[in-house]
Structure formats: structure tokens, C-alpha cells
Amino acid sequence: MVRVGSVIVRVTVLAGGIGGARFLGGVRAALADEADAEITAIVNTGDDVTMHGLRICPDLDSIMYTLGGASDTERGWGRQGETWRIKEQLALYGAEPTWFGLGDLDISTHLVRTRMLDAGYPLSDVTAALCDRWKPGVRLLPMTDDRCETHVVVDGENGNRRAIHFQEWWVRYRAEIPAYAFVQVGLESAQAAPGVLEAILEADVLLLAPSNPVVSIGTILAVPGVRDAIIQRTGPVIGLSPIIGGAPVRGMADSCLPVIGVEVSAQAVAAHYGARSAGGLLDGWLIHDTDTAAVDGIAVRAVPLYMTDDEASAAMVQAALDLAESTRA
């Protein structure tokens, strides 16, 4: 049961896919008894990609399926009970790319999304329509309705460099080929989706999920207006470390941080986000209880940060709300 002095009504979370989804499960659980609670997730869309003519939004879908109770928790992504017959058939046609796993159940989501986008609906409306089915209990906002996709600069032929789509680097090459930079194609001219800046400015508490600081949170922060809104808001901003003991708990965030010159540690990620009092983003930072971190202007607290289930994630959220309350005082 959440009570943090004043009543927490509006909580906004910046989130990527799997880390974001697990964390949001905790936010929803922590605020389950608050009838007035409004939870908004601003979700990274830099991983979005078009494959076989279908528009795919991996992070939005991870959150939607997880909160809708339909995700495959063992595999870690996609739908429970998924089958792969269409993928097999595409491979028999020799239809590239063959390295991206599109499941039969999942494809129905991409068909509906693509059809609505082709008919002219913005991604934010499409997302709301898809959520009508899954009832995630959280308002999901794509960071932008504009198409902007993260690319990765890698070695090309004859000593040149080339940029490949983030999904190709991540899924096909498992982030194992050297990366020199991340480039968000189209981001400078993108606009925050309707409601995004308001959700940042007006939330009682803004939380940075323990998502990938570079290609999830970093991409959202790069949407024009988002960083300024965070700096301008009056209420607290609390981040949770995605790094425990110098390693990401799940996934390959350790292959992204060095590309932007940030060490893989809870301390370095906090310093990278920076203190709001010094022009950065954070008032508070939660680290795992075996880690240490100290950054001027950021209140640091150590608690268990393993998101093993909704209960564990909810305890993290409660700790973040408590820390938020203490930074107000």
C-alpha cells in the first residue's frame, strides 16, 4: 500500500522493453490500492523496424504483452504459446531477413498496427487501440509518433564504416561486432507524441525505469523537448540502476554503455544521467544493496533491485516513491 505523505496520484515512467515491462508490472502492483493513480509509460520507439512489410514496435509490444499477461516469461520476449509457422514459410521463400523472429501470434499485432498506420492513424492512436485488447492498466505513450530508428555505426568494407539498423546489430549480430556510435535517424526533427511532455511536467513523480540507459532511456531523452521538460518539472525524478555489480541483469546493456564512453556501473550511469541541480536529470538514484554510488546533488539509496516478480518490482517502486518523498522534504 503506497502512502507517501501527500497522495501519489500521477506517476510517469520512461521505459524500454523488457526491463521497462517488468518495472511497470511493479508500478501497477505498488499502486493497485490507489483508486486515483494514473500511471503513464513513455516508451522508446527507436528500436522500431519494418520487416516483411510489417511495422514492429518491440518495446511497446513487450510492455503491452507483459502487462496484458500474455508474454513468454521464459524466453523473455514475445507471446506465450507462440508458434513459428509463418517464419518457416517465409524462409522457404528465401524472404529476407531470416534472422528476425516473427511469431504467428505476434504477427497479428503487426498486421493491425501496419494497417492502421497505412490508413493514417498516428502510432499513439494505434497503440491505444491495441491496448484496448490487452488492458495493460497503464497508459502507454510512444515517445514520438514520428519515425526515427536507432542505427549503429560498424565496420564496413575496405576500412569504411557503415550504419546498420539497431535490430540487425542486436538480434543478428547479438551486439558482438564492434560498434562506434548510435545514431537516431530522424530524431532531430521528431516531435514528442501527444501527452508526452505533459506527462513529464505534470507527474507527481517521474521514474526512470532500470532500462538500457543508452538505447532505451537515452533515445527517449533525445526526443526534442523531453530533456528540457524533465529539467523544468517541479516534482522529483528518481532513477533505478539497470546495472548490478558491474553487469546488466538481463540483456546486453554492457555492450552499449562503452560505445558512449560510460563505464558499466551503477555509479557511472548515475553520473551520466547527472544531478538535476547541476543541469542533469536525477534527484534520486536507487542502486542494488551490494553496490555503491555517490554523485553530488543526487540522493542515493541502496535496496534489492532484482525484478524477479511483480512483488519484488513493487518493492523497488515503493523504495523509489519513498526516496522521491524524502527529496521533496
In angstroms, the CA 306 to CA 293 distance is 17
Identity of the residue, 211 or 267, whose beta carbon is nearer to ligand GDP in the bound complex: 211
Identity of the residue, 90 or 179, whose beta carbon is nearer to ligand GDP in the bound complex: 179
- Those residues whose C-beta lies under 8 Å from the C-beta of residue 199, and which sit 6 or more positions away, are 10, 12, 40, 42, 139, 141
Residue from 8, 20, 145, 150 that binds ligand GDP (CB under 6 A)?
20
- Those residues whose C-beta lies under 8 Å from the C-beta of residue 57, and which sit 6 or more positions away, are 45, 47, 48, 113, 123, 127, 142
190 binds ligand GDP (CB under 6 A): no
253 binds ligand GDP (CB under 6 A): yes
Binding mask 45-74 for ligand GDP (x = CB under 6 A): --------------x--x------------
In angstroms, the CA 269 to CA 245 distance is 13
Alpha-carbon separation of residue 64 from 67, 130, 137 (angstroms): 5, 8, 10
Residue from 26, 43, 59, 142 that binds Ca ion (CB under 5 A)?
59
In angstroms, the CA 320 to CA 323 distance is 5
213 binds Ca ion (CB under 5 A): no
Task: Tell me the one-letter amino acid at 286.
Answer: L
Q: For ligand GDP, which stretch binds (CB under 6 A), given 121-129, 147-155, 197-205, 206-214? A: 206-214
Identity of the residue, 226 or 244, whose beta carbon is nearer to ligand GDP in the bound complex: 244
216 binds ligand GDP (CB under 6 A): yes
**Which is nearest to 323 in space by CA: 208, 200, 196?**
208
CA 110 to chain centre: 19
Q: Collapse the DSSP code of 251 into the 3-class scheme (helix H, G, I; strand E, B; otherwise coil) and give the result.
A: coil
Q: Which residue is nearest to Ca ion (CB)?
A: 17
The partner in contact with residue 320, picked from Ca ion, ligand GDP, none with C-beta cut-offs of 5 to 8 angstroms by kind, is none
| Half-sphere exposure in the Cβ direction for 251 (13 Å, CA) | 23
Q: For Ca ion, which stretch binds (CB under 5 A), given 54-62, 81-89, 229-237, 299-307? A: 54-62
Residue from 268, 305, 320, 321 that binds ligand GDP (CB under 6 A)?
305
**Chain contacts with ligand GDP (rule: CB under 6 A):** 15-20, 59, 62, 210-212, 216, 241-244, 248-251, 253, 305-307
Chain positions contacting Ca ion, by CB under 5 A:
16-17, 47, 59
